[in-house]
Amino acid sequence: MLEISGVTAGYGRTRVLHDVTVRIPDGEAVSIMGHNGAGKTTLLRVATGLLPVMSGKVLIDGEDVTKMPPSKRVKRGLGYVPQGQQCFPQMTTLENLQLVAKRQSEIDEVFDLFPVLKELLARRAGLLSGGQRQQLAIARTLLTRPKILVLDEPTEGIQPNIVADIERVIIDLTRRGDMSVLLVEQHVGFALRSTNDYYVLQSGRITMTGQGGAEAIDSVREAMAI
Ligand SMILES: Nc1ncnc2c1ncn2[C@@H]1O[C@H](COP(=O)(O)OP(=O)(O)OP(=O)(O)O)[C@@H](O)[C@H]1O
């Protein structure tokens, strides 16, 4: 379980998050939805240890990791896929995967989740489409075998068929029961379809929370005024 508890955080003297509490139970997927600038990435930076808190705590499996650096949180099971489909553009798809994989069998396992990557092994990552690069970025993080997968706007700027693929992967991963997912998104339909619990973040405050399912789409959109 990842818990962000009563966190206030920001940059310099500016507070961006105000007393934010979010819980990601084991084996579940949780989404945080909000507009541009709501503080979603800031919340993930706090969760992963890239940004210190001003007050509040971050706990992994009950252990207080608030002062723990990102590298140690990775060892506790956090896997972070930052915004922007980040890969090594001059390296091929296979080389990007080999940087993280210990053996070929692990790479074969990620092909089960992202079959398209198998056809793109020799292509340089910089020449993949945005959606293909996003799949590669997620696959690479999965190779670190995280207990908690943290995704920052994975659907940003990618085509609808790949959005559907990523949705299926999140559902598959949590169904297996050995991984939880923290997803930050603006795409309300995608977020609600692929997660169990949801939170709406507006101007750094949680203004709505509930249990997922596509039936919540209208009320979340209304709360977000979109
Ligand atoms: N490094 C930084 N220094 C100062 N202010 C920052 C920094 N990063 C973000 N901010 C500010 O913090 C606020 C929240 O930004 P954040 O990136 O967390 O929002 P977001 O919800 O992830 O937005 P987006 O959907 O556009 O990525 C914004 O007002 C932003 O300008």
ipTM: 0.96
Instruction: Calculate how far, in angstroms, residue 37's C-alpha sits from the geometric centre of ligand 1.
Output: 5
Q: Which helix (H) or strand (E) holds 149?
A: strand 148-152
Cβ < 6 Å from ligand 1: which residues? Answer: 11, 16, 34, 36-42
Supply the Cα-derived Rg of the chain in whole angstroms: 17
Average pLDDT over residues 76-105: 94
What tokens does 208 get?
A: 């709505």
Residue 223 has pLDDT above 90, yes or no: no
Average pLDDT over residues 102-110: 92
Start-to-end Cα distance in the chain: 31
What tokens does 200 get?
A: 């709406």
Instruction: Calculate how far, in angstroms, residue 39's C-alpha sits from the geometric centre of ligand 1.
Output: 6
For residues 47 and 116, what is the distance between their CA atoms, to the nearest angstrom? 31
> In the predicted model, what is the mean pLDDT of the chain?
94
Give, using CA atoms, the residue closest to atom 30 of ligand 1: 37
Provide the pLDDT confidence category of residue 202 given band limits of 50, 70 and 90.
Answer: very high
Mutation test of ligand 1: which of 16, 36, 150, 201 has the most ligand atoms closer than 8 Å to its C-beta? Answer: 16
Give, using CA atoms, the residue closest to atom 16 of ligand 1: 39
Give, using CA atoms, the residue closest to atom 1 of ligand 1: 11
Q: What are the structural domains, with CATH classification, of the chain?
A: 2-224 (3.40.50.300)
Which percentage of the chain shows pLDDT scores above 90? 87
Ligand 1 atom nearest residue 201's Cα: 21
Ligand 1 atom nearest residue 45's Cα: 18
Q: Are the CB atoms for 81 and 150 separated by under 8 Å?
A: yes
Instruction: Calculate how far, in angstroms, residue 124's C-alpha sits from the geometric centre of ligand 1.
Output: 31
The larger pLDDT score, comparing residue 24 to residue 219, is at 24
The larger pLDDT score, comparing residue 55 to residue 175, is at 55
* Dihedral sign of CA atoms 146, 152, 153, 158 in order: negative
Provide the pLDDT confidence category of residue 222 given band limits of 50, 70 and 90.
Answer: confident
Instruction: Calculate how far, in angstroms, residue 21's C-alpha sits from the geometric centre of ligand 1.
Output: 18
Mutation test of ligand 1: which of 40, 186, 203 has the most ligand atoms closer than 8 Å to its C-beta? Answer: 40
* Dihedral sign of CA atoms 204, 31, 133, 51 in order: positive
pTM of the model: 0.94
The half-sphere exposure of 68 on its side-chain side, counting CA atoms within 13 A, is: 19
Ligand 1 atom nearest residue 43's Cα: 18
What is the pLDDT at residue 181? 97
What is the pLDDT at residue 226? 60
Ligand 1 atom nearest residue 186's Cα: 25
